[in-house]
Structure 1
Amino acid sequence: MFSQKFMLSQKFYTHGRLSRPIILHSRYLSNIPQSSSKEVGIKELIQRDIKHAEQVGVIAPAPLDANTFRKIVHTTWELTKFYFYGALAIYKRRQNISAIKTRIRNGGLHLTRAEGRLIELQRKDVNKVIPFVILAILMEELIPVIAIYAPFMLPSTCILPSQQARIEEKKAVKALDASVSYRALFAELNGKAQDGKLPLSALRGNGSAAAMCGVLRLPTFGNDLLRTWRIQQHLKFIKKDDDLLIRDDLLNTLSNEELLQALEERGFITMGIKTTEARNRLKWWLDSVRDHSDDVLARRLSLLAERR
């Protein structure tokens, strides 16, 4: 019974083909409270997140005749189920990924882009799920606070819809701020590129690694070694995604939502961009990497600096 209920709630949360939550689509965003933790208290913000989750059916609301104590108990239990089945979904996802890899290994249909993105999402979630489970067992009440201040710690299946929307909003603002604030730094990086390639070593010092993490919507905490590692891992994923987009000629089949996501993952600012322009920008990127089979990460790093 609980499993069926959780699967129903997940329909409101996760898109079947993408790693990006469906709740981010514009038709859902209008119903999500957008107040930040600076405008309201943390307690009120958490309550708004829970109320919105109840409104869209992710968790069940307390009975109307419940007193305050029963409401607290009910909400705590509903959140516990949400986190439990979210972690369980990551475990069960392994079976699908194992079947995909077995099919390819046995000479079946090649990897699709949706499958490649699912595998990447699973890689990220697996790294987060064990610390998350420990945290949920010991200090479950801290999870909503972490969703506000350290959202990168949470698996994708354990974030409430309005929390996810706020996370994406903060990433977009952060990317825009980095793009504007570090414009001179990106110009300097572009000048270091040779033959259309910029090595990762060029990001050492001067805040270059933090600036690049910012535009790529990656966490910026830590030292340059950790930031550069994040950039490297992200560019490896982008390289695979580029290959699948080019191989299957998917550019003109992507929806507007998919186009925006692809651009954001490649460091573009998408606020106010129209679909035609979004498709042209992604085409520019794909054309720029199409014939570069050597030092593919350095090529993409150069494009990140060049297009500013």
Structure 2
Amino acid sequence: MIRYVVQPRRRLLLTIGRRPLSTQGRPSIFRRIKDDIDDAESRGVLPNFGPKPNLANWFATSTFQLLYFYATGIFKVLRRRTDLSRTPTTRREWRMLRTQHRDMSKIAPFCVLLLDPIILPFVIFLPPSFLPSTIILPGQLRRQHAAHIQSVKQALPDLRKAYKLLERLKIEPFVEEDDDEDEHDTVLKGVKVDDKDDFWFHRSRRLAICHLYGLPAFQSIPVPPLGIESHMEFLEEDDAWLVKDGLDGLGPDEVREAVNERGLCLVSETEAASLLRWWLDHVATGSNDQRLKAALAFSALYKPVQDGD
């Protein structure tokens, strides 16, 4: 009887004692900072100032490394202004000019962070969209890509519903109405404007589409969502440059970036180039409604290879 009573208590204690072990597999904040810095050092992104024998030396050296990296990146953005052509002739020049304008708007708020060296190591947890392009570590890009894929997978139910709604109603979410026409009398492919407006009515649907394109969640708040419309305008222009320049000069990272921007992030690495070529042949010259529908269809119907289904 004694053994019978004690044994369950021992099992309970052992079970409780093992619970913290499940959280030990997740790296701490400081471990992730160290891993990002070590990875950037090995890639030559951060300068290597020698061994760091203790925690105090590691913190001081890493802070100086990041301060040097961030300051160099900011000066690079400032110097780059004079080297860029105001009339781009290639997609790379056009994208670099666009990136330059975005970087210039981020420098001032980022410089405020440089005033406090203690928080510099924690800047690596900021989303890359908040930072100038010249001061983003490889670890930040990997986390952004992983978070993008995870958010799209979580949004798949809403994305599938949005795709079915487009298929059923044949609506065009991005069609601009003629001011001379009565809003209640306008009909799009047999569907009244009220049905078109309903597509953006549910915030869960707007948020899912923001996740699809890797846009911040706050851009899903307006109706219609101005952030999504702005991104579609960017894709329209980017598609025109891709059609003009072709895909032969794109590297693997550029191909991956292009498919992610088009809401095709679930595609495997081996299929990314062929999918982007298909996009240029069948979608790139179409309307923004066709772009959205193609991205939703891909999310609703595509089965990733790694799922093993």
Contact 2:47 2:65 in 1 (8 A): yes
2:278 is aligned, of 284, 296, 301, to: 284
Contact 2:158 2:205 in 1 (8 A): no
Tell me the distance in 2 between the aligned counterparts of 1:147 and 1:129. 16
Residue matched to 2:38: 51
Residues 65, 184 of structure 1: CA spacing in aligned structure 2 closer, same or farther, 3 A cutoff?
closer
Query: 1:253 Cα deviation (Å)?
Result: 5.0
1:95 matched to 2:82: yes
Q: Which amino acid aligns with 1:261?
A: E
1:247 is aligned, of 239, 244, 248, to: 244
Query: 1:217 Cα deviation (Å)?
Result: 1.4
Q: How does 1:257-276 map to 2 (within 5 A)?
A: 257-275=253-271
2:72 is aligned, of 71, 74, 85, to: 85
Residue matched to 2:181: none
Residue matched to 2:156: 179
CA distances 1:23-64 after superposition (whole Å, capped 9, x unpaired): xxxxxxxxxxxxx99912112211221222222222233433
2:135 is aligned, of 158, 161, 164, to: 158
CA distances 1:268-305 after superposition (whole Å, capped 9, x unpaired): 13443534xx344323322334554xxx4344233333
Tell me the distance in 1 between the aligned counterparts of 2:28 and 2:204. 32
**Normalised by the size of structure 2, how large is the TM-score?**
0.70
Q: How does 1:35-46 map to 2 (within 5 A)?
A: 39-46=26-33
Tell me the distance in 2 between the aligned counterparts of 1:237 and 1:285. 15
CA distances 1:113-135 after superposition (whole Å, capped 9, x unpaired): 11122122223322322111112
Residue matched to 1:232: 229
Tell me the distance in 1 between the aligned counterparts of 2:45 and 2:208. 36
What secondary structure sits across from 2:114 in the alignment? helix
Q: Which amino acid aligns with 1:199?
A: F
1:216 matched to 2:240: no
The share of aligned pairs that are identical, in percent, is 27
Gaps of 5+ in 2: 1-22, 176-196, 301-309
Contact 1:186 1:305 in 2 (8 A): yes
Residues 67, 256 of structure 1: CA spacing in aligned structure 2 closer, same or farther, 3 A cutoff?
closer
What secondary structure sits across from 2:112 in the alignment? helix
Q: Which amino acid aligns with 1:135?
A: L
Residues 68, 259 of structure 1: CA spacing in aligned structure 2 closer, same or farther, 3 A cutoff?
closer
Contact 2:213 2:260 in 1 (8 A): yes
> Cα RMSD over matched residues?
3.1
Q: How does 1:197-208 map to 2 (within 5 A)?
A: 197-199=172-174, 202-208=199-205
Query: 1:144 Cα deviation (Å)?
Result: 4.0
Count matched residues.
255
Q: Which amino acid aligns with 1:163?
A: Q
Q: Greater CA radius of gyration, 1 or 2?
A: 2
> 1 or 2 for the larger relative contact order (CA 8 Å, sep ≥6)?
1
Gaps of 5+ in 1: 1-35, 105-109
Query: 1:68 Cα deviation (Å)?
Result: 4.8
CA distances 1:92-141 after superposition (whole Å, capped 9, x unpaired): 221222xx11xx3xxxxx6201112212222332232211111222x343
Residue matched to 2:147: 170
Contact 2:201 2:223 in 1 (8 A): no
- The farther-off stretch of 141-150 and 84-93 is 141-150
1:303 matched to 2:281: no
Tell me the distance in 1 between the aligned counterparts of 2:25 and 2:267. 22
Residues 57, 150 of structure 1: CA spacing in aligned structure 2 closer, same or farther, 3 A cutoff?
closer
2:112 is aligned, of 126, 134, 147, to: 134
- The farther-off stretch of 181-190 and 207-216 is 181-190
Residues 172, 306 of structure 1: CA spacing in aligned structure 2 closer, same or farther, 3 A cutoff?
closer
Residues 181, 90 of structure 1: CA spacing in aligned structure 2 closer, same or farther, 3 A cutoff?
same
CA distances 1:187-233 after superposition (whole Å, capped 9, x unpaired): 22444444xx4327532324122111111112224652299222222
Q: Which amino acid aligns with 2:114?
A: A
Q: Which amino acid aligns with 2:70?
A: Y
Query: 1:82 Cα deviation (Å)?
Result: 0.7
Residues 164, 123 of structure 1: CA spacing in aligned structure 2 closer, same or farther, 3 A cutoff?
same
